[in-house]
C-alpha cells in the first residue's frame, strides 16, 4: 500500500503536478519581491518627507536664532553701549558668513556702523558692510 501512495505522488509530480508546484514557488517568490519593493518605496517616500521636514526645521531654526541674536545686539547697543567685547562678540556671530556666522544684514547694519562710529571703534575684519 505504501508503494502505491509513493507511486501516485511520483506520477503526480512527473505529470502536471511538478509544473504546478514549480509555478507555485515562482509566483510565491514574485509576491514576496513585490511586497519588498512596495516596502522599499514606502521607506524612500518617508525618508524624502523627513529630509524635507528637517530642511524646513533647520531654516526656521536659523531664522529664529538670527532674530534672537539681533534682539540681543539691539539691547546691548541701546542699554549697554560701553560693553564693547560683548557687543563685538554678538556682532561677529550675527554679521559673519556661515558656517560660523548667521550672515545677518538687515537694518542692524546701519545701527552697528553707527555704534562703531560713535564709540570710535574701527571696523572689525569680519564686518565687511
* pLDDT the model gives residue 87: 97
Distance CA 101, CA 66 (A): 9
- Exposed/middle/buried for residue 109 (C-beta within 10 Å: 0-12, 13-18, 19+): middle
At 34 the pLDDT is 73
Whole-number pLDDT of residue 17:
63
Q: How far apart are CA 102 and CA 48, in angstroms?
A: 27
pLDDT in tens, the chain (129 residues): 566 656 555 665 566 666 666 666 677 666 777 777 888 888 888 888 889 999 999 999 999 999 999 999 999 999 999 999 999 999 999 999 988 889 988 789 999 999 999 999 999 999 876
pLDDT value for 4: 61
Return the pLDDT at 12: 58
**Grid cell locating 105:** 544684514
pLDDT at 128 (0 to 100): 79
Q: What is the rounded distance in angstroms from the CA atom of residue 120 to the CA atom of residue 22?
A: 90
* Mean pLDDT computed over every residue of the chain: 84
pTM: 0.64
Dist CA 90 CA 80 (whole Å): 13
* Contact by Cβ (8 Å): 94, 69: yes
Domain ranges of the chain: 2-119
In the prediction, which pLDDT does 10 show? 62
Amino acid at each position: 500500500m505504501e508503494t502505491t501512495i509513493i507511486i501516485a505522488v511520483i506520477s503526480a509530480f512527473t505529470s502536471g503536478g511538478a509544473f504546478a508546484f514549480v509555478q507555485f514557488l515562482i509566483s510565491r517568490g514574485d509576491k514576496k519581491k513585490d511586497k519588498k519593493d512596495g516596502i522599499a518605496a514606502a521607506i524612500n517616500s518617508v525618508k524624502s518627507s523627513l529630509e524635507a521636514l528637517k530642511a524646513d526645521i533647520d531654516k526656521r531654526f536659523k531664522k529664529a536664532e538670527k532674530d534672537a541674536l539681533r534682539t540681543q545686539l539691539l539691547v546691548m547697543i541701546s542699554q549697554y553701549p560701553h560693553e564693547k567685547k560683548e557687543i563685538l562678540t554678538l556682532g561677529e556671530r550675527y554679521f559673519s558668513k556661515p558656517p560660523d556666522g548667521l550672515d545677518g544684514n538687515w537694518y542692524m547694519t546701519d545701527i552697528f556702523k553707527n555704534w562703531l562710529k560713535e564709540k570710535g571703534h574701527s571696523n572689525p575684519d569680519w564686518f565687511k558692510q
